[in-house]
Amino acid sequence: MQAQRSRTTQLLVILALAFLLVTALPFACWWGASRLRTGLAPAEATLRLAYSPEKGELLRALLEDFEAQGLKTSTGSTMKVVAEEMLPERMTAPAVAGELDAVCPDSSFWLTAIDQAWQEQSLDGGTLVGESVRFAISPVVIAIREEVARSMGHPERPLGWADILDKARNDPGFEWSHASTSTASGLLATLAQFYAGAGKTRGLTIEDATRQATLDYVAAVEATVKHYGEGELATVMMALEEGALGLDAFVVQEQLVVYYNARSSEKLVAVYPAEGTLWEDHPLALLESAGLTVEARETFQALKRYLLLPEAQQAVLSHGYRPADLSLSLTASGSPLTASNGVDPAQPQTVLQMPSPAVVQVVRDVWWYTKRHTNVFLVVDVSGSMAGDKLENARAGLLSFLGGMKGDDERVGLVQFSGSVGGMMPLNELGRNRQALAAAIANLNAGGNTALLDGIATAYAQLQGLGDRDRINAIVVMTDGRENASRVGLRELQRRIREGNRDGVPVFIFCIGYGRDADMDMLRAIAETSGGQVREGDLLSIEELYRLISTYF
């Protein structure tokens, strides 16, 4: 009987505990949420921000000062910004996926691209980009070596796209470049050329951009480009790292002329095209995603206010940008916007109107037909050491290269080498052989030794035999090992390249050393002889390397 009462008591205790748990759980959840709302947790609020690389030095300094203030949100959390450097064209996917709270690209046209991508997947047809602020601006200029600019008449007379065209046509040694339209400087420079071709400074229309006279003008200018490239910052950094400027002129924002001249004995001058130019406006924009927190929004608002404070705007100016605060003098003592730094704060005299998104897209599409086209051989190491993951990643890189070349008029060929040269696909327009190239890449097999020099020599002979001076001629070669099977030697190959580039057509060779066993000294010697570049990659970076190199064509 006593045992039965004990069991009854235990059952009542269990039921009572269960009752308390059920009734207490909602209260506990409410109490926990209340603690979050009242700031007892979390300790820090986080704004996830992606910014474009060219202003990394400036933005990191500004964010450090902003966070040092220890500002709090309405919940009592400390404001913190987690900032990641990211190419603007790479911001769209994480922005749409809700992985970012804010972006700071180099131009507002990237904000339009983000909204367009959002609308493609959104059912409500709304926009993702919310409020924005411009805290730093910089006009797009043609940076020209000082002695070359003076030979063209600078600073006595204004120079422009017509002068670049005239110089390139009449001086075979003159070499200039602008990045592709997948970058801000490249697109804005191309828009300026379309404006110049149309003879307008405002209101560029689709009809203006597609008029034959406009297309002929842009095509004439583009035909004189040495090659394109991965972006203005990359061009400047390579020039600084190599200790010499390989180009006579290239397109950048004004701030990078100041940056370059502060670090180099060889001076550049910023030419503000007489026909007019556009601006990189560096917006900071909030992304109104469903996951945006109150704390992130408040941190954005505080950062927005901070960037417009006098001390922040002074920092903007000190880094070579033009501040959004127009009350700050661009010519006051200490301003880097001086003639000694190659720039003129009184310029540009003519500012072009940014066209509508529809016109911008048409210009980007049409550019593939007006740009200087390419003959490029992909020379691929398929020796035995490439077996496994290396070859698999190389395939992905090669396909990324093809994917980066949007125009069907570009000519691409393929040369494979192992113990000998084999499996060559001749040059042909991508409109005809894109699928065949992709199939050949998918079927690459590894085995044998490494006849690297013979592979390059074969592709080089093909390009010289073609003798096409109207196109950019290039070789992109990848190897993971050391030469051990070629019939031609390094010195002989270098001699052929020097003589061929002098007497025949210039051929630029881009060399990729894949992994630690690649002979970087040999690859560097080949690239430098041709006026090309050498890059070092691994399993993780090989695809990105191929993508970047594709922007040169």
pLDDT in tens, 336-348: 999 999 999 999 9
Selection from 491, 552, 500 nearest residue 526 by Cα: 491
Number of Cβ within 10 Å of residue 328's Cβ equals 15
pTM, 2 dp: 0.88
Which pLDDT value is given to residue 243?
A: 64
Q: What is the mean pLDDT of residues 116-134?
A: 90
**Cα distances (angstroms) measured from residue 364 to each of 54, 188, 234, 367:** 22, 10, 21, 5
Instruction: Please give the structure tokens belonging to residue 255.
Output: 């701030």
Q: What is the mean pLDDT of residues 449-453?
A: 98
Give the HSE-up count for residue 160: Cα atoms under 13 Å, Cβ half-sphere: 16
For residue 182, give the 3-state DSSP assignment: coil
Helix axes 56-68, 310-318, angle to 10 degrees: 160
What superfamily would CATH give domain 44-137+282-323?
Answer: Periplasmic binding protein-like II (3.40.190.10)
Q: Check pLDDT > 70 for residue 14.
A: no
| CA 184 – CA 175 distance, rounded (Å) | 21
Which pLDDT value is given to residue 79?
A: 97
CB 408 within 8 A of CB 434: yes
Selection from 470, 520, 477 nearest residue 497 by Cα: 477
Residue type, 438: A
Among the residue ranges 25-39, 163-177, 210-224, the one predicted with the least confidence is 25-39
Which pLDDT value is given to residue 1?
A: 41
Instruction: Please give the structure tokens belonging to residue 87.
Output: 């190419």
CB 460 within 8 A of CB 473: no
For the chain, how many residues are written?
553
**139-280+342-368: what CATH class?**
alpha beta
Average pLDDT, the chain: 91
Q: Which residue has the tokens 């920092």?
A: 315
Among the residue ranges 38-47, 114-123, 385-394, 495-504, the one predicted with the least confidence is 38-47
Arch. (CATH architecture) of 373-550: 3-Layer(aba) Sandwich (3.40)
Give 29's pLDDT tier (boundaries 50, 70, 90). very low
Q: Which residue has the higher pLDDT, 250 or 26?
A: 250
Q: Check pLDDT > 90 for residue 32.
A: no
> Is the peptide bond between 94 and the residue preceding it cis, with omega within 30 degrees of 0?
no
Which pLDDT value is given to residue 532?
A: 93
Q: Check pLDDT > 50 for residue 268.
A: yes
